Structure 1
Amino acid sequence: MDRLGTMRAFVAVADAAGFAAAARRLGMSAPAVTRAIADLEQAVGTRLLRRTTRVVRLTEAGHRFLADCRRILAETDEAMALAAGSQAEPRGRVVVTAPAMFGRRHVAPVMLAVAERYPRLALQTVFVDRVVDLVDEGVDVAVRIAHLGDSALTAARVGAVRRVVCAAPAYLDRHGVPAAPRDLAAHEAIAFSHAAADALWAFPAGGRTMTVRPRTRMVVNSAEMAVAAAAAGLGLARVLSYQAVHEVRAGRLRIVLAAHEPPPVPVHVVHADGRRAAARVRAVVDLAVERLRADAPSWIEV
């Protein structure tokens, strides 16, 4: 079997978590698939799969190699499609990542639009609250809410979000409305579990940074929970504007200290390879940039 054939067999085994299922998917015999994987492991010089009596799992090297195989096979399929004259319709697998809550609220509708426009694309979303390494984890496109540093990635800015402090009207009636960041020391706050319980809140102050430590009433591990706790009157929450927009517009939360907010945080769509990106990736990026830019005013206008 040629090298691309062994790669296809490897991807099929990884996806099916077994040789027999992969063989059925490929229309091959199980021994032929086993030989293909053995040839591939000999060629790369390392074990790619760990076999047990019940299941087949990827080794660490196998995880890394799988992402490369998917990319190589997708680019090969795309090149063949271009040569055959079907370049008007992108095809292949595209993996998109975004922060969890932003992904569910704003990226998911974009992916549905992509799926409808490009039926030959196989889409996968990874909505998680961590920075995903595009190369190491086999991800094609990422939505990042951050000030980006220098990198080899290509970025298109699509909007921005505010970092806001908010509380329920009932809480503010009981405890008063803070007029300046220093007033927060007398207030209760909802903290995130990834920070220390007594974490400082930082605010710009005349070219420097002012920090305040509110009293922690509750520690949570998601923005949804922070917003819900604040809406329940348990304290002040500091979240991104898109995370609290529905509660603010419904009157369940009020934003305070708006005059003391730091500059908005930009939102980018990023991908690797720049202009050399595969057509399937460019198709997703182009539509995502278009739709997210149109949606952007709703993230910041609360």
Structure 2
Amino acid sequence: MDRLHLMTVFVAVAEAESFAGGARRLGMSPPAVTRAVAALEERLGVKLLNRTTRFVRATEAGQRYLDDARRIIGEVDEADEAAAGINAEPRGHLAVTAPALFGKMFVLPGIVEYLRRHPAMEVSALFVDRVVNLLEEGLDVGVRIGELPDSSMKAIRVGSVRRVLCASPAYLEKHGTPADLTALPVHTLIAASAVTPTHEWKFGQGPGASSVRVHPRLTVNNNDAAIEAALQGFGITRLLSYQVAAFVAAGQLRIILNEFEAAPMPIHVLHREGRYASAKIRTFVDLIAARLRGDSALN
């Protein structure tokens, strides 16, 4: 059998953790998929999958081969696109991910503009507040806030954000503006677990870094709720600067104690750097990077 075909079948089975699931994904019969994986293992002389009646899992050697096979298949697809002239006009499907609120506020408008420019394209957007592995979840482009671990991804820095303390003018007029961090615990605090998952709020940087143990009266699991509570004058909250930029500009919220802020967190656009520049990825990354770099809330 063709080696690339065997790789493709193996990747489908390993990702689905099922021969039947891999067969459905490829439009093949389960026996044909089973024969293909067996032929690949025989060719390589190594066991790639552990099979039981309940699950199929890649062996240690199988996991290494899976990573390499994904890369090789991706490069072949990119070479086919280049040879077919697809680099001239983006077409096909693009999968993009970003943090939930950031995606809604900054990435979604870019996606809409991109789709209007390129009518032959389709986009799937995954906006979630967790670190997404682009390779494992089959995504093409990701926007990440925070320092990046070493990876094979190409990263383009497009801006930065800060963790800020803010409250409504009405709250501050009624309860006073804290003069320093030691005054925070006596105020009504609103915690957004998506931004600060613990009740140990860290401030400053380097030798001057410090932390404050807080006891929020209200803890919410999403940033929109924390913003709404602060807008209603309930208390002081800690959020990312882009999340409250519009409300600060409108005078509905006021940033306080900014002299104690930690170092800004970088924003990067990530994508897999292949041998060939796929038109759909290149054009989207260029567009979204330009939009983010040009936004005053991020720079």
Q: Same fold (TM over 0.5)?
A: yes
Aligned to 2:128: 128
The alpha-carbon deviation at position 286 of structure 1 amounts to 1.9
> In the TM superposition, what are the counterparts of 1:268-287 in structure 2 within 5 Å?
268-273=268-273, 276=275, 278-279=277-278, 280-287=280-287
Aligned to 1:202: 203
Q: Does 1:238 align with 2:238?
A: yes
Indicate how the Cα distance of structure 1 residues 26 and 60 shifts in structure 2: closer, same or farther if over 3 A, else same.
same
The alpha-carbon deviation at position 159 of structure 1 amounts to 1.6
Residues 134-143 or 74-83, more deviating: 134-143
Rounded to whole Å, the distance in 2 between the matches of 1:31 and 1:151 is 37
Rounded to whole Å, the distance in 1 between the matches of 2:113 and 2:53 is 39
Q: 3-state DSSP class of the match of 2:39? A: helix
The alpha-carbon deviation at position 238 of structure 1 amounts to 0.9
Rounded to whole Å, the distance in 2 between the matches of 1:57 and 1:105 is 40
The alpha-carbon deviation at position 216 of structure 1 amounts to 1.8
Aligned to 1:73: 73
The alpha-carbon deviation at position 22 of structure 1 amounts to 7.0
Aligned to 2:290: 290
Aligned to 1:6: 6
Identity %: 47
- Structure 1 unaligned spans of 5+: none
Rounded to whole Å, the distance in 2 between the matches of 1:66 and 1:121 is 28
Q: 3-state DSSP class of the match of 2:268? A: strand
Rounded to whole Å, the distance in 1 between the matches of 2:179 and 2:50 is 60
Indicate how the Cα distance of structure 1 residues 253 and 289 shifts in structure 2: closer, same or farther if over 3 A, else same.
same
Rounded to whole Å, the distance in 1 between the matches of 2:229 and 2:238 is 11
Aligned AA (1:202): F
Q: 3-state DSSP class of the match of 2:87? A: coil
> In the TM superposition, what are the counterparts of 1:85-96 in structure 2 within 5 Å?
85-90=85-90, 94-96=94-96
Rounded to whole Å, the distance in 2 between the matches of 1:229 and 1:209 is 28
The superposition leaves residues 82-130 of structure 1 with CA deviations (integer Å, 9 ceiling, x where unpaired) of: 2244431345654433222212221222233334444555644333323
Query: RMSD between aligned alpha carbons?
Result: 3.9
Aligned length: 293
Q: 3-state DSSP class of the match of 2:179? A: coil
Aligned AA (1:271): H
Aligned AA (1:47): L
Rounded to whole Å, the distance in 2 between the matches of 1:215 and 1:22 is 49
Rounded to whole Å, the distance in 1 between the matches of 2:59 and 2:126 is 20
Q: 3-state DSSP class of the match of 2:198? A: coil
Q: 3-state DSSP class of the match of 1:78? A: helix
The alpha-carbon deviation at position 58 of structure 1 amounts to 6.6
Rounded to whole Å, the distance in 1 between the matches of 2:272 and 2:25 is 31
Rounded to whole Å, the distance in 2 between the matches of 1:142 and 1:64 is 23
> In the TM superposition, what are the counterparts of 1:86-165 in structure 2 within 5 Å?
86-90=86-90, 94-118=94-118, 123-148=123-148, 153-165=153-165
Indicate how the Cα distance of structure 1 residues 82 and 209 shifts in structure 2: closer, same or farther if over 3 A, else same.
closer
TM-score (norm 2): 0.75
